[in-house]
Amino acid sequence: MFFSLSFVAPFILSNSDFFCVIRVAIEFGHFVYLRQKRKWLLFCEMGRGVTGSETSAENLRELNVSVVTADEDAFIGVNIGKDLSDMPSPTQVAALLKAQQIRHIRLYDADHAMLTALANTGIHVTVSVPNNELLGVGQSNATAANWVARNVVANVPATNITAIAVGSEVLTTLPNAAPILVNALKFIHSALVASNLDNQIKVSTPHSSSIILDSFPPSQAFFNRSWDPVMVPLLKFLQSTGSYFMLNVYPYYDYMQSNGVIQLDYALFRPLPPTKEAVDANTLLHYTNVFDAVVDAAYFAMAYLNFTNIPIVVTESGWPSKGDDNEPDAAIDNANAFNSNLIRHVLNNTGTPKHPGTSVSTYIYELYNEDMKDGPLSEKNWGLFDANGVPVYVLHLTGSGMVLVNDTTNLTFCTARNGADLKMLQAALDWACGPGKVDCSPLLQGRPCYEPDTVAAHASYAFDAYYHKMGMASGTCYFNGVAAVTTTNPSHGSCIFPGSGGRNGTFINSTSLAPSSNSTASSSTSLSFYSGGARSALLIGFVLWRAVFL
């Protein structure tokens, strides 16, 4: 039954790990490696308690299954933590989200002012029952009903609440509440049913991926058995209510804790040479990144409990941009690479090797750097923005159909040349706002770019608008010689020059970045995070599997 694939272990194992590998290899007749030393050691201690034949049964079961359907394209959302000494006001947060075209967010509470600021923005919101309110909600359906009335019913439909995350990583951070977790979900759901909101609002609870044991190879993954009494009814609930499994996926920690077993490129979605790709010996599926391996481990762990049709939404994933001296990989380039690649991966609807084409919508952790967070420096540096809304780094997303944060690669502006003749400037300004068809309304009195009220300043705005309207094509920043290209963003105060990232890190339309975005592939037409439209699941994995085994 087992495939003895000639498989190059992509990772270097330490001595003690290596003994385990040998042992397991002998025991099961195939070669495995794990993604976390801690889990690996556990594997050795427990010997998994599974014999070869049981494992085969598990494999066989896999054959019958695997219909996870996604009826929407995947989206990228962002988590909003509030542990900032200088937390922007809800209005400022909402403005940043709008400017960045962020259409999906998750809050760690159900703050009334925040939900009010999000009203009529079209932003999809996942609200949370914080862990400190969980016991109350899980012990009393009246408390749950009250929670829903106060936090949800009072805000919909103006604020588009689409999900309720009940607690956060409860099994691992608040195990005492585990016995009431499923009740909490059920009570919340009943209250939604009573308000006729259960179709539009899903109820679930985010899990740490550390509840999944033996997550590599993914086909052997299972949930920590201690939690079966919670997981089984929980999965039943998710299945019967059409909800999804919420999973937090942190390749950064997997990488950090692997003691060199996991390569940085593998964690960052960087291309690996084929010989370094991780191959699941049971399924022959190739894993090119840690993220997919963890998501598939969750699918397999659910399948192990006979739940095969529950979709996964990744409620947290990200990478810190700064860390202490002993956290050298918490670095800006790595954070940028991870998040840029993650966004491209998700929006492309690539799915995972187990469920190719099935969307795995993902919320990035997180919007702001939270300077008040305890712990190592990296804890304070997961954000895409600082408290002023200035991006921490520029994501490289050109061509992926959406732009988050000012991607200033090759970005230039067109402004009036210093000392240019005023009459010629005026003539060029008149031409730009007239025949040039530039929208010059921001230059009117009382509008953001009226000040400074000089010909040169107004001409600069108009020239730049024309230049970007023309996709920064060569020759479009000339104006009889009174205009010149510059790399300095001329935006000032609330006067944001066309094509600029804006002083506060507002977004740039990809049209201005990539004038011929026409030529880029498939999903590159949408400027926003979310592009609607039905999409059915492709389940090639299943077919492949049969082809191999039968």
Which residues are part of the catalytic machinery? Answer: 169, 316
Q: Say if CB 498 and CB 442 are below 8 A apart.
A: no
Residue 487 exposure: Cα atoms within 13 Å on the Cβ side: 4
Please give the span between the terminal C-alpha atoms of the chain, in angstroms, as a whole number: 10
Radius of gyration for the alpha carbons in the chain, expressed in angstroms and rounded: 26
Rounded Cα gap, residues 535 and 358, in angstroms: 8
Residue 177 exposure: Cα atoms within 13 Å on the Cβ side: 25
The label of the residue with tokens 């014999």 reads 51
Q: Which residues contact 290 (CB under 8 A, 6 or more apart)?
A: 35, 251, 254, 255, 262, 266, 267
Q: Which residues contact 113 (CB under 8 A, 6 or more apart)?
A: 90
Distances (CA, A) of 207 to 7, 168, 246, 406: 31, 7, 6, 32
Rounded Cα gap, residues 179 and 186, in angstroms: 13
Residue 27 exposure: Cα atoms within 13 Å on the Cβ side: 18
The total of other beta-carbon atoms located within 10 Å of residue 472's CB is 20
* Three-class secondary structure of residue 247 per DSSP: strand
3-class secondary structure per residue, 59-101: HHHHHCCCCCCCCCCCCEEEEECCCCCCCCCHHHHHHHHHHCC
The neighbouring-strand residues paired with 316 are: 248
Rounded Cα gap, residues 125 and 103, in angstroms: 8
Catalogue the E-assigned strands of 393-433. 413-416
Rounded Cα gap, residues 280 and 60, in angstroms: 16
Rounded Cα gap, residues 129 and 144, in angstroms: 10
* Three-class secondary structure of residue 201 per DSSP: coil
Residues that bind ligand NAG (CB under 6 A): 42, 124, 141-142, 145, 157, 160, 162, 175, 190, 213, 224, 226, 305-306, 344-345, 348, 350, 388, 391, 393-394, 398, 406, 408-410, 489, 494, 496, 498, 500-505, 509, 516, 518
Give me the DSSP letters along 108-161. SS--HHHHHHTTTS--EEEEEE-HHHHHHHHH-HHHHHHHHIIIIITTTTTSEE
- Structural tokens at position 468: 């970007």
Helix or strand holding residue 207 (H, E): strand 206-208
φ, ψ (nearest 5 deg) of residue 432? -60, -45
